[in-house]
Structures are given as C-alpha cells and as structure tokens.
Amino acid sequence: METSVGEQYEQVRDLVVSFCKKKIAPGAAKRDQSAEFPSGILHEMGELGLFGIFVPEELGGAGMDLMTYLMIIEEIAKVDASIAVTISVTNSVCGWPLLHFGTREQQERYLRPIASGEELGGFMLTEPEAGSDAASLKTRYRDVGDAFILNGTKAWITNAGVAKTFVCMATKDPSLGAHGISAFILDADQEGVIFDKPEEKMGLRSSKTGMVTLDNVRVPKSALLGREGQGFSIALATLDHSRLGIAAQAVGIARGALEEALRYARDRRQFGRPLYDHQAIGFRLAEMDTEIAAARALLQEAARAAMTPRRHSRESARAKLFASEMCNRVVASAIQIHGGYGYSKEYAIERMYRDARVTTVYEGTSEVQKIVISRALKQAAESL
Amino acid sequence: MKCIVCMTHVPDTASIIKIGADGKHIDETGIKWIVSPYDEYALEEALKLADEGKADEVTVVTYGPQRAEAGLRECLARGAHKAVHIVGGEKTLGDSLAIAKVLAAALKDREYDVILVGVKGVGTDNSQVGQMLAELLDLPHVSNVVKIDWNDGAVAVEREVEGGHEVVESPLPAVLTAQKGLNEPRYAALKGIMAAKRKPVEKIELSALGLDEDTLAGADATYNVRSLELPPEKAAGTIIQGEDDPQAAAAELVKLLHEEAKAF
Ligand SMILES: Cc1cc2nc3c(=O)[nH]c(=O)nc-3n(C[C@H](O)[C@H](O)[C@H](O)COP(=O)(O)OP(=O)(O)OC[C@H]3O[C@@H](n4cnc5c(N)ncnc54)[C@H](O)[C@@H]3O)c2cc1C
C-alpha cells in the first residue's frame, strides 16, 4: 500500500517480513495441527510494538498510521492467519474503541498495557442467539449505584482465555433495541468472567476463540466506555475500522496462496512441461494475481477514507466483502493447481484453504456487508 | 562507556547477484541493502552494554553512499544513540585499507572505549578493515570474537580459532571484530523505528577529513578489481531411466559414478 505512507513504512515491512520468516513461518504448520497458542512468539511481537501499532507513542503505542497497520496484518497473514487475527483483534476491535471513546484515565489504565505489549485484547459482541443481528443481544447490565452488574453469555470470542481486557456490549433492557446497549471495559480476571474451553475450529486453529459466561460480573462505573446507550454505535464504528484489518488478512492469505501455487506450478511437470506452461494454469495464476491486486486497491481506497473524519462504513464493507470472497476463490484455485497434493496436510495450501474460510464470516458475514452497502446505496438513491 | 560500531551496508544475502556492465561491479538494480550481518553482532554487543547500563553512548559509523543512511537508521531504530555518515565509498568499494583510512580519520579525535566491527563485510568478505583500523589508530585488536567479558578498562575475550576457543585479555580502548555466535541480534521495535527518525545522523564529507576519494581510489589505491565472475552454472543432472531394466540402470549408475564423477 504505497499511498501517503510514512517514511517508516518500508522499514517496518522489512522488520515484519523478516520476523515472519524467522520466527512465525517455521512452526505454523505444527501449531495448526496441535492448535497450540503461540504465547512465546506473541510475547516477542508485543515487545516489538505490534499490539498497539496505531496507538500514539504517548500512550505506549508505536504511533504508526493505518496503512502501516494494514500492511503488517497482511504480511503476518501471508504466513500465519491465526497470529494475524490475534494481533488484529488486539489492535483493532479492542484498541481502537479504547483509543477513540475512552477517557484519558481509561486509556492509561486499559490501553497502555496493551499498546506496550504486555497484554492482548478482545471484543465481546456476538452471543449464541445474536450473530448478524447483533442489536438483539441479551447480555444485561444493571446499575447498582457504585457499579454495573453484567449477566449473560458471549459466543465466538477471539482471544477468550488469553486476553486480559475486552470491550463488551450489554443491554439495559433488550426491548430498547440498539439504544439500550452500552459498552463496558471488562477485565478477564474479574470474578464471574468464565471462559469455556476453546472451540475446535476448522481453521485459524492456533488462535483462541471461545464462549464466555458473565455471571454477576461487577464492573466499576469507571469502566463504562462512552455514554450509556452509546454501545451499539461504538460497536458499529469499531467494525467499520476493524473490517479493514480482516480485508488485509484476506489479502495476505491470498498472497501466500498465490506464492504456494506459483512455486508448485513451476516445479511440477505434467505432459512434459511445468504446470506453469499449460496455458490454463498460467491464466488461472494471472486471474489470482489480478484479483489480489484489485482487492488491495479497494482496501487502500477504504483505508484512505478511514483516514478522514467522515464515516466510511460503505468503503470498509466493500473492501471486506471483496477481499474475503476473493481470498476464498484464490485459495480454491491454489488447491486446484496443487491437484491431489493440495488435499494433503503436507502442503501449506491445505491450511491456507481452511484459514481463508472464516474471512467471509466473521466481523460481519458477506451478507451483512451487502446489507451495509445496499443501505448506503438506498440512502444515496434518495438524493438522485 | 562509549561504544563505536562500524557498519557497512551490503546487498541482502538473499539477493540474486548480477554483474554490472563494466564487469567489475555488481549490478545494483533491484538489490535490497541491509546492515552487514556481522555488524549486527557488533551492534548488538554494544546495545546489550547500554541495556545493562554499562554504556551510555552507542555511535554507529559508516563510510558509504547516500543509501547507507538507511542502514544507519536501522541501527538507530534498534537502539544506537547517534550515527555518523561519511559520505562516499563507491570508488573505494572493497579496498579495505582505503576504508580503514577513512574510518580512522573520522574516529581519531572522538572519545570511545571500544570500537566494535563485524569480522567481515558480507559480499566482499575481506576480513581486514577491523585490523587495519586498529593499526591506524594504534589500538590493540582482537579478531573473531564470540564472547566478551567487560571489566574495568579491559576485556576478556573469547575468539574462535581452529577447533576451539582462545581467551585473550586486552586493555581498552581496543578494536574487536565480531564473529557469528557472539549474540543474537535484536529486531528494531516499531517505537524504535519512530524514535530513529528523531535521532541525529551527522554527515561528514571526505574533504572535511582531509581525504579525497579519487586519490584513495587512484594514486593511493592498494586494491584493484580486474574482473568479477559468477560461479559456473551447475550442469543439469543426468537421469538414468530404470523402470524397464533396473539392473542395467544400476550398472550404468555405478559406471558413471566411477568414470565421470570419479566418486570412487
Ligand atoms: C473464528 C471466529 C472468531 C470470531 N471472533 C469474534 C469476536 O472476537 N467477537 C465477537 O463478538 N464475535 C466474533 N465472532 C462471531 C462472528 O462475528 C459471527 O459468527 C458472525 O457475525 C455471524 O454470526 P452467526 O455466526 O451467529 O451467524 P448468523 O447471524 O446466524 O448467520 C447465519 C447465516 O445467515 C446469514 N444471514 C443472517 N442474517 C441475514 C440477513 N438479514 N440477510 C441475509 N443473510 C443473513 C448470514 O450471513 C449467515 O450466512 C467470531 C466468529 C468466528 C467464526
């Protein structure tokens, strides 16, 4: 992403690429099989400043711009999508709302330890009965004077059991709909926060995702994020931002898949020549390359919009929709190029294929992205 | 303590090297430049001293063209405090004595307790600059260093020798050349990269040192590259088809290994 980036951009890319090559890539296949959480690697990444990439330096962060953040997620996802999502969730769905809606005190207390690499973060919106229809969430809070008491169940929470701080949405009364929802900063060590065992996932196996029960969790008044009733709009604004990270993850996975496919097409010979020299394969590779470039351009456009003060829901949704669908097409093509060997765990493409699948599902399914885009279009239609 | 680290900016070891049109230099197009890995060990040793509070200043020095500033920034990002860039060096590339003369001229009036240098610059692989620099500055020198114990005003150093390690003591200041195994270089943290932008890079022209690149590379040159050649390309392997008659194929293989490859 070469547009209006800081001069540190290439230097950061070199650093991340080198770190990925030396530290992340070697164990990626093994971690996928064992579903082992890479605590050691993440600790090092925290020390490098990768948990608070765009948090200002005065809050302990790295003070980088959005383009640099997205490049980092892309490069990590290219070798290990599990680590990419762990990092993206920490920076984005947790760090971003704390940075934009938190008071200075909340930032000092909750954001600084994340940004300086000591802790991971997470985001609790989804519930067993409230997925795409997040506004129908049922986790309740009640005001008891000096604190709020939270009760409910959250589902599919990335970094559950490994992060310390979560931004958590709860409602005063489900009948109030979106207006009843407030955002809280939740400390995982608080009494009543119970993490279920991690889900057995198809992909992203070395990232942790799980159900969380909130059983009379006492949240201090000082941990209300934004105003009461502002929670749903905080969630939507956060997702507008974080979807860019998922789009970057999708572009990264697709780039990794293209590289695997290229290597294979170069080395594998059939009918007396490398696969690459069969035009059908060459054309497929050309399409993969073009699709990746298109997704990246769309992501850049969305990121530029996100760097202005105006709302960028439509741009983010477009980038996330296209990049994630593109990613699934590209990994499927890469498997096809690998033939039977792509169906074997011996080849990295098999893992990439599984990792790619969730990108059209989480942080809003493709259908939800289309809802966002079509709503914006409908609004635009009104002034035609 | 004040540490000086000499750094050279070299083609990435993963680069594919092509020879330039003049047949004496490499073609620099598309080459990615990095801090020479041996200099990374030298820098890391100085940064560790700073971390332990034993060094209060780490200065990185390079003699190189404009692009070498990126290498200095990388060292600053990892934690060096200051950088000195003596601009030039394209004509004296590979001439260890010329390089050592330039570095000595730049360092002679500075304050330092130790000068750390990579044992060699990756690429030219001459392994001479450290020793020559020590001689020109009239300093003791220990090469091939794989472990350093810092004492007051002196060091006990382990150096790699054939088949083992040798322990040498030296007073400070001294020049030490860093060998692989000395330490594991750190990555620059993102914050370090941002901080590096605000750290000073002092630019020095050769003329300010009373030197001139044309003379260094001309009348005073001790090193002259006649030509560069790439190693011969590996010949394609021979495949002996053996599906129909494995015994004949094995016999053929033994014959080729004996007569052509002279393996036994
Ligand atoms: C690995 C992983 C990590 C996750 N991490 C987090 C996290 O950290 N925090 C968090 O809060 N959540 C997280 N999620 C949850 C994720 O965001 C939800 O799974 C997602 O929003 C979809 O919700 P759902 O699974 O309940 O599906 P549903 O909403 O039940 O959707 C099922 C299907 O119906 C479609 N559908 C639903 N409504 C409509 C409609 N109106 N029009 C058309 N189609 C519709 C959907 O697109 C989908 O295809 C994670 C999920 C996964 C798999």
Domain-terminating residue out of A213, A231, A249: A231
- Which of A86, A91, A94, A132 best tests ligand 1's pocket when mutated (most atoms within 8 Å of CB)? A132
Is the pLDDT at A7 greater than 80? The verdict is no
Asked if residues B75 and B188 have their Cβ atoms less than 8 Å apart, the reply is no
Q: Where residue A257 sits, what CATH number does that domain have?
A: 1.20.140.10
- Does A337 lie in the same domain as A248? yes
Neighbours of A331 (CB within 10 A): 30
pLDDT in tens, B180-210: 999 999 999 999 999 999 999 999 999 999 9
- Does A256 lie in the same domain as A134? no
| H helix count then E strand count, chain A | 13, 10
Is the Cβ of A69 closer than 8 Å to some Cβ of chain B?
A: no
- Does A144 lie in the same domain as A93? no
- Does B22 lie in the same domain as B89? yes
- Does B131 lie in the same domain as B66? yes
Asked if residues B9 and B118 have their Cβ atoms less than 8 Å apart, the reply is no
Residue A67 CA to its chain's centroid (Å): 15
- Does B145 lie in the same domain as B263? no
pLDDT-derived band at A338, boundaries 50, 70, 90: very high
- Does B176 lie in the same domain as B252? no
In a domain, A11, yes or no: yes
Q: Is the CB of A157 under 6 A from ligand 1?
A: yes
Is the Cβ of A49 closer than 8 Å to some Cβ of chain B?
A: yes
Compute, in angstroms, the gap from residue A251 CA to the centroid of ligand 1: 20
pLDDT in tens, A50-85: 999 999 999 999 999 999 999 999 999 999 999 999
User: Could you report the predicted ipTM of this complex, rounded to two decimals?
Assistant: 0.85
Of B70, B73, B191, the CB nearest to A49: B191
Is the Cβ of A113 closer than 8 Å to some Cβ of chain B?
A: no
Q: What are phi and psi of A122, to 5 degrees?
A: -155, 180
Six-digit token string for B131: 């020793």
Q: Is A363 a catalytic residue?
A: yes
HSE-CB for B191 with a 13 A CA cutoff:
19
pLDDT-derived band at A190, boundaries 50, 70, 90: very high
pLDDT value of position A18: 94
Q: What is the mean pLDDT of residues B22-48?
A: 94
Give strand ranges (E) for chain A.
Answer: 121-124, 140-143, 147-158, 165-171, 181-187, 193-195, 209-220, 224-225, 269-270, 273-274
Shortest CA distance from B198: residue in chain A: A8
Is the pLDDT at A112 greater than 70? The verdict is yes
- Does A52 lie in the same domain as A27? yes
Shortest CA distance from B191: residue in chain A: A62
- Does B186 lie in the same domain as B242? no
Disruptive mutation site among B12, B32, B191 for chain A (greatest number of A CBs within 10 Å): B191
Compute, in angstroms, the gap from residue A131 CA to the centroid of ligand 1: 5
- Which of A85, A86, A133, A156 best tests ligand 1's pocket when mutated (most atoms within 8 Å of CB)? A156
Q: Chain B residues with CB inside 8 Å of A53's CB?
A: 190
- Does A180 lie in the same domain as A76? no
Q: Where residue A221 sits, what CATH number does that domain have?
A: 2.40.110.10
Mean pLDDT score of chain A: 96
- Does A278 lie in the same domain as A252? yes
In a domain, A285, yes or no: yes
In a domain, A384, yes or no: no
Asked if residues A111 and A98 have their Cβ atoms less than 8 Å apart, the reply is yes
Angle at which helix A81-88 crosses helix A39-48, to 10 degrees, equals 50
CB contacts under 8 A, A 146-205 vs B, are: none
- Does B242 lie in the same domain as B202? no
Which residue has the least CA distance to atom 37 on ligand 1?
A132
Task: Provide the residue range defining the domain that includes B121.
Answer: 2-217
Task: Provide the residue range defining the domain that includes A317.
Answer: 232-379
Is the Cβ of B189 closer than 8 Å to some Cβ of chain A?
A: yes
In a domain, A12, yes or no: yes
Alpha helices in B11-128 (DSSP H): 37-51, 68-78, 96-107
Whole-model pTM: value is 0.90
- Number of structural domains (chain B) is 2
- Does B154 lie in the same domain as B118? yes
- Does B202 lie in the same domain as B247? no
d(CA A42, CA A56): 21
Query: Does a cis peptide bond (omega within 30 degrees of 0) precede residue A56?
Result: no
- Does A241 lie in the same domain as A190? no
Q: Is the CB of A363 under 6 A from ligand 1?
A: yes
Would you call A222 exposed, middle or buried from its count of C-beta atoms within 10 A (0-12, 13-18, 19+)?
A: exposed
Cβ contact (<8 Å) for B197 and A57?
Answer: no
Q: What is the mean pLDDT of residues B88-117?
A: 95
- Does B261 lie in the same domain as B162? no
- Number of structural domains (chain A) is 3
In a domain, B149, yes or no: yes
- Does B240 lie in the same domain as B198? no
- Does A113 lie in the same domain as A144? no
- Does B170 lie in the same domain as B263? no
Domain-terminating residue out of A100, A120, A140: A120
- Does B238 lie in the same domain as B208? no
Is the Cβ of B190 closer than 8 Å to some Cβ of chain A?
A: yes
